[in-house]
Amino acid sequence: MAEMISNQLDLSPSAMKVLEKRYLKKDEEGRTVEGPVDLFRRVARAVASVELNYGKSDAEISGLEERFYSLMTSLKFLPNSPTLMNAGRRLGQLSACFVLPVDDSMESIFDAVKNAALIHKSGGGTGFSFSNLRPKGDIVGSTKGVSSGPISFMTVFDSATEAIKQGGTRRGANMGILRVDHPDILDFISAKDNNLKLNNFNLSVALTDVFMKAIEKDEEYDLINPHTKKSVRRLKARSVFNLIVNHAWKNGEPGVIFMDRINQCNPTPAAGQIESTNPCGEQPLLPYESCNLGSINLSMFVNAPVDGRQGSARAASELIDWDSLRETVRHSVHFLDNVIDINKYPLRKIEEATKANRKIGLGVMGWADMLIQLGIPYNSVEASKLASEVMKFIQAESKKQSAFLAVERGVFPNFEESIYTDDMAVRNATTTTIAPTGTLSIIAGCSSGIEPLFAVSFVRNVLEGTKMYEVNPYFEKIAKERGFWSKELIEEIADKGSLKDIDKVPEDVRKTFITAHDISPLDHVRMQAAFQKHVDNAVSKTVNFPHNACPKDVEDVYFLAYGLGCKGLTVYRDGSREEQVLSTGQTAKQEPVREIKAPSLKITPKERPEVIKGTTRLMKTGCGNLYVTINEDADGNLFELFTQMGKAGGCASSQAEAIGRLVSLAFRSNIEPVEIEKQLRGISCHSPAWAAGGKIASCSDAISKAVERYIERGNKSNGNGSNPKKEKAIFCGACPDCGGAVEHEGGCAVCRDCGFTKCS
């Protein structure tokens, strides 16, 4: 097996770890049965096979397979995760983005729940607009009952998503959108005041031009009942906007989407109005549409020595390999158009809607790396100019390739209902999108999307609790060549998180290697807007704020984004979600939380009753079968844990027994089981095992999985009023899988250690 997953493509250790955990094919016992070369060959062969439909010869198909294979293995382009996971395999579902309609009937609502479950099971994420649902308290004509409103039904979608595990490779993720003129908009804005609610949703308010003008004029605007189409009340636009701003400042949600602007750019207005986007907001879609995304690694197209010294946009343009970029764009568009044909869609309606418009979304990653190679600070005017130039080129070349495919294969079926003319005959209604690249950028070894660097150096947790410092390779090269490299410097950078106040690093290098939190929020927006000018769909990007930012700062970036032509915005204030507190709805009146030092208390474990009940689970480990018995008290709280190795005696058996005693002590001291499970999860030893549930890294890991399955089966806690399953869905500063650092990117969160991602 070691030979099978050998690093034949010179991928980084992080890339290999992510591929093995989330992408490479596994057998029924969870063992990896393909390597990276096999994966890329599988995908290339499957996508090239579409050419049979267009009368290509075996030789032509073989040649195209080699081009697609080279495109991916060179790391110049990677398709979205479902394509890498599923192309050439039985599931065959290759799309990441879906939008489902939710109309104002019980049948439509629960059809959408069922269809979302099928999509999540196949590895996709879903977007919904709940704006068509009548408001809470409205009379339902058929029964004369009272409507519970969109927020209530959203919890049904959230629960269904929670139940879908997607084979352990991708989680279910949803976008929930409500128009700002819906009567329940105030409840929607505050829906996540309780941080145990709607954790499988990103929320966004659809802002209208009417609303934005009402803010500007300090006027009221109408709330419209979607069932009757009549105004039910009026609200002060500024007050509603302030509520949105304050909640986004508090915990990053809701985001905002400028829906009228999205529909002004709708390429097929006669086919319908756009009401929703995919989970991260970058892909507006019509009902039942899906979209196939891919990203070009811009770091691969620079012909320049990296020395950290400042450059200009004009000089930089001359150092970009435009010919290679053009070729990559054209092959990538061809690849993504083929994906539409080979895709196995989860629903017939999705296949019909997708093929009617044939939308693809080619984006970029490695943008920060390109700027570093060119010596251009991310927050400079030169960087914004170059962003516009690069994306304009990609947009133009993608349209040329789409037009070429239209001549060869025909225009998309809804062409006559589109904004295109006969002089602009294209194969695809859209060709460009900038999506979060999450795990793809880890595989490619580059920076994420169009985001700045997350960190120049950070600590990665490796085996046996050992810490390893990971350093940006461009910084390492420059530091060694210019003579300021040292182990102490790297530790200092990792500790501080940036180069901002480190005088040992030359000023020009500090400016070039600027990180996300060193950049002003307004400069984040300007970069997003520079790319948006030349993108068909939208741009996924996180606007980062320091912890001490105030709500007025958030307000300023919203207005700037609207003024510069962005289609939506996601903000994240550092540390806001980690410190979010439970609310009873009195958010506006909530006093600042003050730290109160409690007196030192001695915790006395509960005494064991004479009779106790529980279950024993067999867990396979590399040391043999491990039997884990978990018992609970009369109130249903987890009380104790015993272990027994299949082969008695030995070090492994004694360690398992010791862990069992300590876990039992924690249970009896009212420690929440989910916290115990998190501490034991992922601990590795030299002899892992594979079972139906995946890899068992050690006896400790086996015990954690046994605890996890027990509490999931019975929704068990230790009486502190928390829900273990929901708590695992809250993402803060640490990865729930491995404990590594979580990077907020494009409305999503991704762990740079193991590739865990919050969203599909």
pLDDT value, residue 94:
96
- State how far the Cα of 686 lies from the Cα of 300, in Å rounded to an integer: 37
Residue 436 preceded by cis peptide, ω within 30: no
Q: Kindly report the backbone phi and psi dihedral angles of residue 527, in degrees, each rounded to the nearest multiple of 5, phi listed first.
A: -70, -45
Instruction: Tell me whether residue 651 is one of the annotated catalytic residues.
Output: no
Q: Is residue 345 part of a domain?
A: no
The answer to whether residues 33 and 27 touch, using CB atoms and an 8 Å cutoff, is yes
Instruction: Single out the residue of 2, 3, 17 nearest to residue 443, CA to CA.
Output: 17
* Gyration radius of the chain over CA positions: 26
Instruction: Give the model's confidence band at 143: pLDDT under 50 very low, under 70 low, under 90 confident, else very high.
Output: low
Instruction: Tell me whether residue 278 is one of the annotated catalytic residues.
Output: yes
Instruction: Give the model's confidence band at 304: pLDDT under 50 very low, under 70 low, under 90 confident, else very high.
Output: confident
Q: How many domains does the chain have?
A: 3
Q: Is residue 657 part of a domain?
A: yes
- The SS3 assignment for 211 reads helix
Q: Is residue 226 part of a domain?
A: yes
- State how far the Cα of 723 lies from the Cα of 666, in Å rounded to an integer: 18
Residue 183: CA atoms inside 13 Å, Cβ hemisphere, count? 20
Q: What count of residues does the chain have?
A: 760
Q: Is residue 175 part of a domain?
A: yes
- The SS3 assignment for 682 reads coil
- State how far the Cα of 429 lies from the Cα of 402, in Å rounded to an integer: 9
> Among 51, 282, 382, 672, which one carries the catalytic annotation?
282
Instruction: State the Cα torsion 250-253-257-258 to the nearest 10°.
Output: -20
- The SS3 assignment for 358 reads coil
CATH number of the domain at 198, please. Answer: 3.20.70.20
Instruction: Tell me whether residue 470 is one of the annotated catalytic residues.
Output: no
What Å distances lie between residue 34 and 39, 343, 723, CA to CA?
7, 22, 38
End residue of a domain, out of 246, 277, 308: 277
End residue of a domain, out of 498, 528, 554: 498
Q: Kindly report the backbone phi and psi dihedral angles of residue 665, in degrees, each rounded to the nearest multiple of 5, phi listed first.
A: -60, -40
Q: Is residue 201 part of a domain?
A: yes
pLDDT value, residue 497:
81
Instruction: State the Cα torsion 260-263-264-266 to the nearest 10°.
Output: 170
Mean pLDDT of the chain: 87
For 704-745, the three-class secondary structure string (H helix, E strand, C coil) is HHHHHHHHHHHCCCCCCCCCHHHHCCCCCCECCCCCCEEEEE
The answer to whether residues 278 and 99 touch, using CB atoms and an 8 Å cutoff, is yes
Of the listed ranges 111-125, 233-247, 508-522, 707-721, the least confidently predicted one is 707-721
Q: What is the mean pLDDT of residues 515-536?
A: 96
Q: Are residues 105 and 248 in the same domain?
A: yes
Q: Are residues 243 and 104 in the same domain?
A: yes
Is the torsion defined by CA of 115, 121, 125, 131 positive or negative? positive
- Kindly write down the DSSP assignment for every residue of 223-234, as one continuous string: EE-TTT--EEEE
Q: Give the residues across from 470 on adjacent strands.
A: 458
Chain segment 406-432, per-residue pLDDT in tens = 999 999 999 999 999 999 999 999 999
Long-range contacts of 311-314 (CB under 8 A, 24+ apart): 311/374, 311/375, 311/376, 311/382, 312/376, 312/382, 313/376, 313/382, 313/383, 313/385, 313/386, 313/389
- State how far the Cα of 292 lies from the Cα of 322, in Å rounded to an integer: 25
**Residue 370, H or E segment:** helix 367-374
Determine the Cα angle at 2 with ends 742 and 687, to 5°: 70
Instruction: Give the model's confidence band at 2: pLDDT under 50 very low, under 70 low, under 90 confident, else very high.
Output: very low
Q: Which residue segment(s) compose the domain that 494 sits in?
A: 455-498
Q: What is the mean pLDDT of residues 228-255?
A: 96
Instruction: Give the model's confidence band at 710: pLDDT under 50 very low, under 70 low, under 90 confident, else very high.
Output: confident
- State how far the Cα of 263 lies from the Cα of 272, in Å rounded to an integer: 10
More confident of the two residues 325 and 635: 325
Q: Is residue 702 part of a domain?
A: yes
- State how far the Cα of 675 lies from the Cα of 667, in Å rounded to an integer: 10
More confident of the two residues 749 and 171: 749
Instruction: Give the model's confidence band at 144: pLDDT under 50 very low, under 70 low, under 90 confident, else very high.
Output: low
Q: Is residue 460 part of a domain?
A: yes
Q: Are residues 109 and 251 in the same domain?
A: yes
> Among 278, 292, 297, 544, which one carries the catalytic annotation?
278
Please give the model's pTM, rounded to 2 decimal places: 0.81
Q: Is residue 53 part of a domain?
A: no
Q: Kindly report the backbone phi and psi dihedral angles of residue 371, in degrees, each rounded to the nearest multiple of 5, phi listed first.
A: -65, -40
267 pLDDT exceeds 50? yes
> Among 97, 265, 280, 735, which one carries the catalytic annotation?
280
- State how far the Cα of 576 lies from the Cα of 588, in Å rounded to an integer: 16
